[in-house]
């Protein structure tokens, strides 16, 4: 049997970020509602990332500078994640047991005569 790549991937990381965002929203709601009874204006802001494109909003300009910095960090992280996970989750296969199809690049057993992906006849 040919080893497959791990099922964990960017979708798992994306789901983790969604859960982290929900947790931060809940934490922010708890912290903002547990005020000391002082009257004043609540200040806040947020970032919505649609892919690597940020939408930044805030109640004043002092809130926007840290949000812009955080958005830039997240954009760089999101653009770098595919390359990081590609290096982490591609298994190293023993050269004496497997080879690659010259047509489609699929990993096939060393003694295979045909590629199970594209049907190409593989010669040694």
The string of pLDDT tens digits covering residues 48-98 is 888 778 888 888 888 888 888 988 988 888 888 777 777 666 666 677 788
In a domain, 4, yes or no: no
State mean pLDDT over 8-25: 80
52 and 69 fall within a common domain: yes
Structural domain contains residue 7: no
Q: Is residue 32 part of a domain?
A: no
Confirm whether 21 is domain-assigned: no
pLDDT of residue 9: 63
Give the pTM: 0.45
Of residues 124 and 26, which shows the higher confidence score? 26
Q: What is the pLDDT, as a whole number, of residue 1?
A: 45
Q: Is 109 among the domain residues?
A: yes
Where does residue 54 rank: exposed (0-12), middle (13-18), buried (19+ CB within 10 A)? middle
Asked whether residue 78 falls in the same domain as residue 97, the answer is no
With respect to residue 40, please indicate whether it lies within any of the assigned structural domains: no
Structural domains counted in the chain? 2
10 belongs to a structural domain: no
pLDDT of 25 above 60: yes
Helix (H, G, I), strand (E, B) or coil at 114: strand
Which residues form the domain of 81? 45-90
């Amino acid at each position: 049997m040919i080893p497959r790549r791990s099922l964990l991937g960017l979708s798992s990381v994306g789901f983790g970020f969604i859960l982290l965002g929900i947790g931060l929203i809940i934490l922010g709601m708890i912290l903002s509602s547990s005020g000391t009874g002082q009257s004043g204006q609540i200040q806040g802001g947020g970032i919505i990332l649609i892919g690597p494109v940020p939408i930044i909003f805030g109640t004043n300009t002092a809130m926007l500078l840290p949000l812009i910095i955080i958005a830039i960090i997240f954009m760089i992280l999101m653009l770098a994640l595919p390359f990081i996970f590609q290096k982490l989750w591609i298994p190293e296969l023993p050269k004496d047991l497997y080879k690659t199809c010259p047509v489609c690049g699929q990993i096939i057993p060393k003694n295979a005569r045909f590629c199970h992906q594209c049907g190409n006849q593989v010669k040694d």
